[in-house]
Amino acid sequence: MNSSYFSAAKNEFSENLYLYIPLTIILQSCVGSIAAMLILMQGTSLLTFVQLLVCTVLCMGYNGALLAQLKPTISFWLLLVSLSVNTALIFLNLL
């Protein structure tokens, strides 16, 4: 992807932050909960614990960044990281 696409998306997120907050909380929470469900369906082991820890920390980190009213840039990158990692965990656990 082009860096201009990311900067345009970041600017859009920053300009309309209060419109995107509810949407992204719902989106990120749904993706995170699907990832957590699929991780827990694999049973209990050290690997599933680490995966669940990463999933939970990223979801809570984004929600915490919004509650702490951090800069929109930080919140945007936390959202991207959270969605990317949780989507990867979903695909990993579907295999």
Give per-residue pLDDT as tens, 29-44. 999 999 999 999 988 8
Asked whether residue 5 carries a pLDDT value surpassing 90, the answer given is no
Print burial letters for 8-19: b (CB count within 10 Å at least 16), e (below 16): eeeeebeeebee
Confidence of residue 83 (pLDDT cuts 50, 70, 90): very high
User: Considering the domain boundaries, does residue 56 fall inside one?
Assistant: yes
Question: 69 — phi, psi (to 5°)?
Answer: 55, 50
Say if CB 61 and CB 74 are below 8 A apart: no
CA within 13 Å, CB half, 55: 25
Range of the domain at 79: 28-94
pLDDT on residue 1: 56
- CB-facing half-sphere around the CA of 88: CA atoms within 13 A: 10
Counting the structural domains of the chain, the total is 1
Task: Evaluate whether residue 61 is within a structural domain.
Answer: yes
Q: For residue 23, is it within any domain?
A: no
